[in-house]
Amino acid sequence: MTQQTQVVVIGGGQSGLAAGYHLRRLGVDFVVLDAQSTPGGAWQHTWDSLRLFSPAAYSSLPGRLMPPQPGEAYPGAQHVVDYLADYEKRYELPIQHGVRAHAVHRDGAFLRVETDNGSWRARAVISATGTWSRPFLPTVPGRSVFQGVQLHTVEYRNPQEFAGRRVVVVGGGNSGAQIAADLAYDTELTWATQREPRFLADDIDGRVLFDVATARRRALDEGSSDAGGVASLGDIVAVPPVRQARDAGLLKWSPMFARLTRHGVAWADGTTAEADAVIWCTGFRPVLSHLAPLGLRGPRGHVPTAGTRAVGEPRLHLLGYGDWTGPASATLIGVGRPARDAAREISALLASGH
């Protein structure tokens, strides 16, 4: 069965919802297709103690302030899931959960979206499929030799199952720091990072990151020099659990090891550490396989874009994948503006009749 609408939004996490909010305000006919049966996108799958790196009010989607979580300066993941579920309902967004898009094809004046529940023909598509379902694991020698447990951020839930064991956490970003802090009290922890972890100043959190990312985009748009963006400030927001473990001297770091052995890890200088588990907090890649039929992939697995619009297919917009689809667009507060811009461009495209 083929259904028809003006715009299909693929992905109903924060990015897809922000796009839906703006499409609705512009009176565009659209549907949001989300592979998960329940609202909340990736936030449904994070570890128990995860904390947002910005206070609630600075983690809001367009049109609706995220309410504070009582007693928490930085809300937890379940609070975000509840907020996103409420957002879907409040704005009566036409979202179909449990529908996975497998492929997007050109089809004359339309784009055809094939899903596991029939296909859709639309004049434009917004891809907002996130990164969570595409964890990145670096190629490190010995990964297949190691006899212990290996998991990625996406599989980690809480420290209980690792109590008393020797655990290596790999990665110097927010995930690595928050999971290392989680494990620091009851495990024999080794925190391995490629360079010395760079904590942002304690009074800097996601608010500043958003301001810096936005200023950088403006500077780049105006053709002035690139102030280096967020990366020039540091990598890790010292949310309370990270700050406590760091101040207790429990977040000691080691340089990245050279290889895994049967029973642990080994550095180039010959030192070794035995381990029962290695947790790879090594990031993600954008989930884009459904766009393969359009033949748009560019360097580093991204799709070349002008803002959110795919350079090779002006009827396709990409949202929420990272700075390459808009400054801080992979954050709750940062996705609003690129979502608005994408909706406006699509609305103009529809009005032009092209």
Residue from the set 132, 253, 267, 324 that interacts with ligand FAD by CB under 6 A: 132
Q: Which of residues 289-318 bind ligand FAD (CB under 6 A)?
A: 290
Q: Which of 172, 264, 320, 336: binder of ligand FAD (CB under 6 A)? A: 320
152 is a contact residue toward ligand FAD (CB under 6 A): no
Check residue 282 for interaction with ligand FAD (CB under 6 A): no
Q: Which is nearer to ligand FAD, 264 or 322 (CB)?
A: 322
Residue 291 beta carbon to ligand FAD: minimum distance, rounded to whole angstroms: 9
Residue 354 Cβ vs ligand FAD, minimum distance, rounded to whole Å: 26
> What are the backbone angles phi and psi of residue 121, rounded to the nearest 5°?
-110, 135
Distance of CA 92 to the CA centre of its chain: 24
Q: What is the dihedral of CA 86, 92, 98, 100, to 10 degrees?
A: -120
172 part of the interface to ligand FAD, by CB under 6 A: no
**Least distance from C-beta 38 to ligand FAD, angstroms?**
9
Considering only 8, 11, 19, 264, the residue that binds ligand FAD (CB under 6 A) is: 11
Nearer to ligand FAD, 128 or 316 (CB): 128
Q: CB under 8 Å to 161, separation ≥6 — which residues?
A: none
Looking from the CA of 172 toward its CB, the CA atoms found within 13 Å total 17
Burial class, 258, CB count within 10 angstroms (exposed 0-12 / middle 13-18 / buried 19+) = middle
Per-residue contact flags (x/-) with ligand FAD for residues 90 to 129, judged by CB under 6 A? ----------xx--------------------------xx
174 touches ligand FAD by CB under 6 A? yes
Is 300:291 a contact under the CB 8 Å cutoff? no
Pick the closest to residue 17 from 88, 96, 83, 92 (CA basis): 88
179 Cβ neighbours under 8 A, 6+ residues apart: 47, 153, 156, 169, 279, 281
Contact in structure between 290 and 103 (CB atoms under 8 Å): yes
Report how far residue 155's alpha carbon sits from residue 135's, in angstroms, rounded to the nearest whole number: 10
Could you say whether residue 61 binds ligand FAD (CB under 6 A)? no
190 binds ligand FAD (CB under 6 A): no
Residues that bind ligand FAD (CB under 6 A): 10-16, 33-36, 41-42, 46, 52-54, 59, 100-101, 128-130, 132-133, 153, 174-175, 206, 287, 290, 320, 330-332
